[in-house]
Amino acid sequence: MAITDTIAAIATAPGRAGIGVVRVSGANLAGFAQLFCARRLEPRAATLCDFGDGEGSAIDQGIALFFPAPKSYTGEDVLELQGHGGPVVLQRLLKRCLALGARLAEPGEFSKRAFLNGKMDLAQAEGVADLIDAATEQAARCASRSIHGEFSAEINAVAAQVLELRALTEATLDFPEEEVDTGTRSEQMQRLQAVRSRLQRLLASADQGSLLREGALVVLAGQPNAGKSSLLNCLAGEEVAIVTEIPGTTRDAIRQSISLHGVPVHFVDTAGLRDSTDPVERIGIARTWSAIEQADLAVLVIDASKGETQADQAILQRLPKNLKRLRAYNKCDLAGWAPGRRQQVESSVVLSAKTGAGLAEFQQAVAEAIGWQGDVEGVFMARARHLEALRAAQAKLAYAGEQGARQELFAEELRRAHEALMSITGVVTADDLLGEIFSRFCIGK
C-alpha cells in the first residue's frame, strides 16, 4: 500500500457530541487546507474559520489545525478540522475531503503511517490502541507507559545485552586461531545468566500486563439454588440476574464484566448443574460445561447451610484437571459460619451474597487465583504476540546455555533470541503481521 496518498477519516466516536474531529494526513496538505478553509493556516496554531463546501457555502464553522511534516502524529502533513459533533455535519466534512482528493482511511492507518514514518515503534503504536480500549484505570496507566516508550526501552535494553554477548561470541569465531581462555567462557555464561534473569523479570511484568489488557473469564458453577445468581448480583452491585427460590431459574449464561483490583474480570453466571429431564434446562447445563471449558477460573458455589455434598464433589471431579478452581461457601448467614477465608479447605472462601459478608475476601481470592499480584507499578501492557516473542527469546537463550563449547550454535541461538525481541518493537516484522495488528484499530486512529 502506498503511503504517499492522502487519507481522511472521522476521528471521534459515532453519535452526537459537542465537538467532532475529521483528520487528514498526506503530503503537501497546505494547498488542501487552503481550499477547505479559504485561507492560509499557520502551522500548529488554532484557526477559527468556515469549512467551505466548494460551492460558496459553509458546511460548518470550527477550528482548523495544520501540522506540517515531520512534526505531526503520522510524520506527514496533518490537518484536523474540529467542528460540531453531529453525524450529518461530520459526514459532509468527510465527503468534502474526499472530493478534494483524499481517500477514506483504513482502520488504524494513521497509526500505521506513524510507525512506518518512524514516529513510534510497533509496541508504542499498539499502546495507543490499548489506551483507547482500556477497561480500567490501571490498564490505562500501563498502556500510557507503553505509548511513552517504557516497554520498548526495556525490550531494547535486553536486546542490547543479547547483541553485546553475541558480538563477544562472534569475535571468537572470527579468530579461531586464538585460544579462548576459561575466563572468557566463564564471563560468557555469567552474561548469559544476567540477560536471562532480566528477561524473566520482563516476562513476569508482561504477564501481568496481559492480564490487565485481556482480563480473566471466571465461571460461577454449582448446584441449583446455591446462590450463583445472587453472588453475581452482589458483585455487580445491581440486579443483573433473576433470583428466585425455584431451582433451575437460570437457563442461560449471564455475563457481567467487573473491575476487580483494576483487572477486568468477566464473570459468568450459569445454569445449575444437576440431572434434569427438562430439555431447555439440559441445554443450559450443556452451555455451563462449555463455558467452564473456556474459563480461566471456575468458582464452585456451595450452599453452606447444606454443607459440601456428594453432588458438589462430583462437579469438582468433572472440572478440567488444569483449570484453576475456588470454592465459595455461600449463605454463611444461614449456616452460622464466620465469613472469610476457610482455613480447613484449600482455595475456599465463606461468604453471604445476601448480606455481602465475606465479599472482599472472595474478591481477593479470585484476584489471586487468576494470577494478579496487585502491583501495577512496573507492569507493561502486553499482547499475546509480545508474550509469544518473549517466551521464544527465553527459550533460545536457554538453548544457548546448553551448547557448551559449540560457539557457532551459541551465537546462532543468540541471533534468534535477538530477532524475537526485535519483533516486539517492529524492527523485524512481516507485512502481513502489520496488516493484522492495525486492522484491529478504530478508524481515524
pLDDT at 274: 64
How far CA 310 is from CA of 147, 223, 315, in Å, comes to 52, 11, 9
Average pLDDT over residues 256-267: 88
pLDDT at 154: 95
Sign, CA torsion 429/72/152/408 = positive
pLDDT at 276: 63
pLDDT at 240: 62
pLDDT band at 280 (very low <50, low <70, confident <90, very high): low
Taking 90 as the threshold, does the pLDDT of residue 359 lie above it? yes
Chain CA centroid to CA 50, Å: 40
Taking the alpha carbons at both ends of the chain, their separation in whole angstroms is 17
pLDDT at 196: 95
Taking 50 as the threshold, does the pLDDT of residue 1 lie above it? no
Lowest mean pLDDT across 142-151, 157-166, 210-219, 235-244 = 235-244
pLDDT at 60: 94
Taking 90 as the threshold, does the pLDDT of residue 105 lie above it? yes
DSSP3 helix / strand / coil % (the chain, rounded to 5): 45, 20, 35
Q: Are strands 297-303 and 216-222 parallel, antiparallel or unpaired?
A: parallel
How far CA 95 is from CA of 3, 8, 98, in Å, comes to 21, 9, 5
% the chain with pLDDT above 70: 89
Tens of pLDDT along 182-206? 456 778 888 999 999 999 999 999 9
% the chain with pLDDT above 90: 51
DSSP secondary-structure letter at 33? H
pLDDT at 224: 85
Q: Are 390 and 195 in contact (CB under 8 A)?
A: no
Domains and CATH numbers, the chain: 7-121 (3.30.1360.120), 127-212+380-426 (1.20.120.430), 220-369 (3.40.50.300)
Taking 90 as the threshold, does the pLDDT of residue 290 lie above it? no
Tens of pLDDT along 133-161? 888 888 888 899 999 999 999 999 999 99
pLDDT at 248: 47
Taking 70 as the threshold, does the pLDDT of residue 319 lie above it? yes
Average pLDDT over residues 314-329: 91
Q: Which residue has the cell 461530520?
A: 90
Q: How far apart are CA 47 and CA 124, in angstroms?
A: 30
Q: Which residue has the cell 571468537?
A: 172
User: Which amino acid would we find at residue 441?
Assistant: F
Q: Is 101 left (phi over 0), alpha (psi -120 to 50) or beta?
A: left
Surface-to-core class of residue 13, CB atoms within 10 Å of its CB (0-12 exposed, 13-18 middle, 19+ buried): exposed
Rounded to two decimals, the pTM is 0.78
pLDDT at 390: 96
Taking 90 as the threshold, does the pLDDT of residue 38 lie above it? no
Other Cβ atoms within 10 Å of 101 Cβ, number: 12
Q: Are 349 and 328 in contact (CB under 8 A)?
A: yes
Q: How far apart are CA 48 and CA 349, in angstroms?
A: 61
Q: What is the dihedral of CA 349, 353, 359, 365, to 10 degrees?
A: 40
Q: Are 169 and 410 in contact (CB under 8 A)?
A: yes
Average model confidence (pLDDT) across the chain = 87
Tens of pLDDT along 384-436? 999 999 999 999 999 988 876 688 888 899 999 999 999 999 887 667 777 77
Lookup: cell for 300: 464452585
